[in-house]
Every structure is written in C-alpha cells, then in structure tokens.
Amino acid sequence: MKKTFIARNPSALWFLAALAIFTILVTVLSESVGAGIISTSFLKTLGKTLCLCLVAIAMDVVWGYCGILSLGHFAFFGIGGYAIGMWLMYARTEGIVVTSLQSNPLPSTPQEITDAIGTQIFGVVGSSEFPALWAFSQSLPLQLLAVVLVPGLLALVFGWLAFRSRVTGVYLSILTQAMTLALSLYFFQNDTGLRGNNGLSGLQNIPGLEDRSQATVSLWFFWASAAALAMGYILFAYVVSGKFGSVIRAIRDNEARVRFLGYHVEHYKLFVFTITAMVAGIAGALYYPQAGIINPAEIAPIASIYLAVWVAIGGRGRLYGAVIGATVVSLLSSWFTGGSAPNINLGFYEIRWTDWWLVLLGVSFVLVTLFLPKGIGGLFDALVRKPDVDRQGDYGPDKGAWRDEEGAPE
C-alpha cells in the first residue's frame, strides 16, 4: 500500500525529501545546536512559515480540489491558536503566581491562587473572574483536544447549514467571510473572556521549559512545525489521491453530475470542510506560540483572503503549489513590511515598501491570475506533465436537433 501511495504521489516524496533537507539545513545553521547563522527570530519566522504552509495546503484541498472557495479558514487557524494560548497563559501565570505567593507567611488556599491567576490574566480587561470559556484552561490535554475539536465542530455546523441549503460559489465565500468577521468581533469583546483586543500574549514562554533558552524552544517548535507539515501533506496527499480525490475534483468541476452518479455531494463537502478546518486549527496551535501573541485582528476577514491569495499564486489544485505560494508570499511579506526592503526614491515621491507592499501583492495577484492561471506551481508542469487537453467535441452529425442550444451541461 505504501508503495502504491508513493507511486501515485511522486510529488509527495519530493516534497518530503525537500522538507527534510530544509529542516536539517536550518538545524545545522541554528543558534542553539548549530553554526548560529540563522538568528532565533528568523528561525521563528521560518517555523511560522511552515505553519502557514500547513494551513495553505488545507485551503488548497478545500478550494483547489473540492472547489469550495472558503474565505474563512483562517478563523479555524486562529481558534487553534486561542485554544493553545489559553493553556499557555494559564499555566505560565500559575507558575508565576505560585512562586510569588510562596513568600507569604501563610500557605495560600487553592481559591486564592485561582483568584490571583484570574487577576493577572484578566486585569487588563478590568476583571478577575474566570469566564466559562476558560473552564479547561488548566488542562493541556483538554486544550489540545480543543485545538482540533472546536474548529472541527464549528466547521461541521457551519458547513452542514450552508451545504445542505446548497449555498455555493460566491455566496458561500461571502458567508464564510461573515463567519470569520463575526468570530473576530466576538473575540474583540471584553465580555467574551478572551481579553478583548489585547488577545493572549507571552505565548512564547512555554510552562515547564523556563530554563530552556528561546533559541532551543524555537528550534523545537520549528521541528514540530516541520513534522506537522509533513504529516499534513501525507494526509492530504492521501485524501486527494485515489477515488476520494477523484470524487471531490468531480464535485469541483460539475457537482450536479456527481449527484446523478449517486454521491451525496453535501457529505463530501462537509467532510473536506471539516477535516481541513481541524488541520488549520493544528497549524494555528503551532504558529502562535512562535509568534508569541494572538489577538482578534488575526482572524479578521482579510486574513482568510490572504490565504486564498497564497494558494492562487502558488497554484491551486496541487499541494506543493500551496506550499510554494504560502512560503514565497509570507516571506516576501515579512521582508517588505519588516522594513528590510530598500525604499525607492523617485525624486518627487518615495516608495516605502511598508506602505506599498499590499499594492505590489495585489498587482502580482492580478498578473498571476492573468498570465499564470495555474500559479507558480504550474511551471512544474512544463517539466513533468503533458499539457492538459481541453478539447471541445463537436455536436454530432444531425444539425437539426438544436444540440448546441439545448446541450448545456446540468
């Protein structure tokens, strides 16, 4: 079985090999175990990029393969981040609080400890009560479960409602945008209990690993991200290959026809929507400890649109295309917006890339759509694949039957 999987997905093998080499290379050049050429902050950028690649391949499966242009998948990514962030904040604050309370002459009661943690965490929003959302925050296993289950459940309910009513195309995209907008507004409220626009912070400090340097912890997260990306890639390569892949691509191309073959299209869409949401949650849970902070702006509607842009630029309908798109665009983005790109002085006007990067991205997106409809990944076709045939057959011999007019698909 393994052999046939590889045989059916030669690109998966190439991808995994490239990822392994990249991981080894970065490790060798890292500060904590290697030559120290890659700074810890850049190591974090690389680790985060791997997480973005993971959510991008999820997006590619849902959009590029199944044809559902979800503009809400970053919400699932953010939920994953919040879920792990809650444990990180709780456990770390607990550590600090317990240490500081030890100096008290009397041992403190559990209630006092909890109150002190609550004041520490929720002081910024003028509260000290633990909101209901934090019920499991002291338990790492439960919050880890939440990383996959909450996005999965949300996707399941949302998808069930949307697909069952046969909402498709641009209407579905708008609906997913509404979902992520609603969620981000909800998270923004102080009452929600997720610290409003402050978000969760200090996530780079991992409880229990206080004596490890950030250089080491970052490398571990980089490894974890690489491993998650590898597993995600294998999972999705399996999903989109074989007959299941055949069915979802058929749904993308002509879902009505698939129904007449006896497939419940809605179930397939729901499956794909949900499983990609769960993977997006995992990606987010690995991303935000490396970023150190998460706030509701992260799941603003624009974030999910960027995700679609990455996949489009990289080339949808091929997993490595999504990886290329996410890597190229997010690294370029941090280069341009980080102020490293040299400004261009036109004499009368200075192009500052921090302001103009979005314009550049927009223009590149339009150019890619126009001239490279298969994205950057499409360039690989010239190497390996025969060009796709798109032959429109004629309509048969007898002209009298109005076939052209009546023969529209569906």
Partner 1 sequence: MSTLLEVSGVSVTFDGFRAINNLSIQIAEPELRAVIGPNGAGKTTFMDIVTGKTKPDEGRIVFGDRGDSILGMSESQIAQAGIGRKFQKPTVFEAQTVRENIAMALKNPRGPFDVLLSRKADNSETRIREISDEIGLTDALDFQSGALSHGQKQWLEIGMLLAQDPRLLLVDEPAAGMTPAEREHTTELLKRAAKTRAVVVVEHDMEFVRRLNCKVTVLHEGSVLAEGSLDHVTQNQDVIDVYLGR
The residues binding ligand ATP (CB under 6 A) are 401-402, 406
The separation between the first and the last C-alpha atoms of the chain, rounded to the nearest angstrom, is 37
Cβ proximity to ligand ATP, 388 vs 398, nearer residue = 398
Token pair of 34 as six digits: 């290697």
Q: Which residues pair with 178 in a beta bridge?
A: none
CB of 211 or CB of 390, closer to partner 1: 390
The interface partner of residue 261, options being partner 1, ligand ATP, none and the CB cut-off 5 to 8 Å by kind, is partner 1
CB of 265 to partner 1, least distance (A): 7
Distances, alpha carbon 396 to alpha carbons 257, 403, 406, 407, 410, in Å = 21, 8, 13, 11, 19
The candidate with the shortest Cα–Cα distance to 63, out of 404, 391, 310, is: 310
Paired residues of 38 in beta bridges:
30
State in angstroms the smallest separation of the CB of 136 from partner 1: 29
CB of 403 to ligand ATP, least distance (A): 8
Q: How many CB atoms lie under 10 A from the CB of residue 35?
A: 9
Given the complex with partner 1, which of 131 and 242 has the nearer CB atom? 242
- Which does residue 400 touch among partner 1, ligand ATP, none (CB within 5 to 8 A, set by kind)? partner 1
- The option from partner 1, ligand ATP, none interacting with 164 (CB < 5 to 8 A, set by class) reads none
Distance CA 57, CA 215 (A): 28
Nearer Cβ to ligand ATP, position 264 or 403?
403
Minimum distance, C-beta of residue 75 to partner 1, in the bound complex (Å): 23
Q: What is the nearest approach in angstroms of ligand ATP to the Cβ of residue 409?
A: 13
- Of 20 and 256, which CB lies nearer to partner 1 in the complex structure? 256
Binder of residue 126, out of partner 1, ligand ATP, none (CB less than 5 to 8 A by kind): none
Tokens for 240, please give them.
Answer: 């989109």
Measure CA 268 to chain center: 21
Nearest to ligand ATP of 14, 395 (CB atom): 395
Work out the angle between the directed axes of helices 73-101 and 110-122 (0-180°, nearest 10): 130
Query: CB 266 → partner 1: shortest distance, Å?
Result: 9
Exposure string of 201-235, with b = 16+ CB inside 10 Å and e = fewer, is: bebbbbbeeeeeebbbbbbebbebbbebbbebbbe
Q: Evaluate whether 31 touches 39 at the Cβ level (below 8 Å).
A: yes
- E strand or H helix at 93, and its extent? helix 73-101
The nearer residue to partner 1, 129 or 253, going by C-beta atoms, is 253
Task: Tell me whether residue 243 or residue 399 sits nearer to ligand ATP (CB atom).
Answer: 399
Where on the chain is the footprint of partner 1 (CB under 8 A)?
1, 239, 243-244, 246-247, 249-250, 253-254, 256-265, 267-268, 271, 388-391, 393-398, 400-403, 406-410
Please state the closest distance from residue 249 (CB atom) to partner 1, in A: 7
Identify the three-state secondary structure at position 152.
Answer: helix
How many angstroms separate the most distant Cα atoms in the chain? Answer: 100
Least distance (Å) between residue 395 CB and ligand ATP: 12
267 binds, among ligand ATP, partner 1, none (CB under 5 to 8 A by kind): partner 1
